[in-house]
Structure 1
Amino acid sequence: MKNKLYLLLALCLFGFAGCRSAKSPSGAASDRAAVSQVLADQAACWSRGDLECYMQGYWQSDSLLFVGSRGLTYGWQQTLANYKKGYPDASAMGKLNFKLKELRQLSPETMLVVGKWHLAREAAKGDLEGYFSVIFRKFPEGWKIIADHSS
């Protein structure tokens, strides 16, 4: 009986390891590239002063979670409204740059990205910068941010 238990345990562990490594290294690299491209597209949209374009990188759901200096915000529409209030025009928005520090695939469908953001703005407004962590989920239409924590 003990041998059967060990065999069952070994098969379960082997099966789990096989599932975790089922994604090819090139698939993981492709996912990292796709997520990086979403962020590059967002930075370009922001720098053009186009918030609606910027928001295309986010999951369009009431369950989207944004955590910022004012606390928690739920929902795509409310997140867009907050951005419009905080950045009413292109001069307030400035030019956005992301420096990605870590991209960690949590599962075939989810990825954690940690990085630094920097807004270059006119001297009168002053530059802004901070750190962020975002969780991406892979949807049929591509990778989207489902949770954002920016400081």
Structure 2
Amino acid sequence: MKKLILTCLLFLICCLTYAQDKQAIIKLMTDQQTAWSNGNVEGFMQGYWKSDSLMFIGKRGPAYGWQTTLNNYKKTYPDKAAMGKLTFRIDKVELLGKQDAFVMGAWSLAREKDSPGGYFTLWFRKINGEWKIVCDHTS
């Protein structure tokens, strides 16, 4: 009986941890969406791993590094009008273990003259207790 109670307790703890991690990832993306829509690309970048090993894969192929990614965003989206209002649609959040997660979804921008959009797949890693994007493939 003690083993059954202990097993049930461990299962509940795992479920709670899973839910908390999933919510932390969704919150990070919601914070990114808000920062971007406010024209704050530096705030948006807080969701990324601040490392030279960060990988961003876009239509021009892979680019490495947090600073490179920031510079590319600033070049492509030089002002708030170019940035527009960002909306994410999160289709899947899958925890792959205690430190890794996969996220898939779509993005769209509402701008004065157009509304571009596309899809993304993200690899999140828990680093120093915080979820961060370590690889972003956006098209």
Q: Shared fold (TM-score greater than 0.5)?
A: yes
The runs of 5 or more residues in structure 1 that have no matched partner are 1-20
Structure number, greater radius of gyration:
1
Residues 85-120 of structure 1 show CA distances to partners (whole Å, capped at 9, x for unaligned) of 000000000000001000011111000000000101
Of 60, 64, 71 in structure 2, the residue corresponding to residue 70 of structure 1 is 60
1:28-107 to 2 correspondences below 5 Å: 28-107=18-97
Q: 1:149 to 1:129 in 2, by over 3 A?
A: same
Aligned amino acid, residue 88 of structure 1:
P
The runs of 5 or more residues in structure 2 that have no matched partner are 1-10
1:23 Cα shift?
6.4
Aligned amino acid, residue 45 of structure 1:
A
Normalization by structure 2: what TM-score?
A: 0.90
Q: Which secondary structure does the structure 2 equivalent of 1:130 belong to?
A: strand
1:64 Cα shift?
0.1
Indicate conservation of the 8 Å contact 1:23/1:108, yes or no. no
Quote the residue 1:147 is aligned against: 135
- Asked if 1:120 corresponds to 2:110, the answer is yes
1:18-37 to 2 correspondences below 5 Å: 24-37=14-27
Distance 1:100 1:83 in 2: 21
Distance 2:53 2:129 in 1: 18
Aligned amino acid, residue 20 of structure 2:
S
Q: 1:52 to 1:22 in 2, by over 3 A?
A: same
CA RMSD, Structure 1 to Structure 2 (Å): 1.3
1:33 Cα shift?
0.1
Normalization by structure 1: what TM-score?
A: 0.83
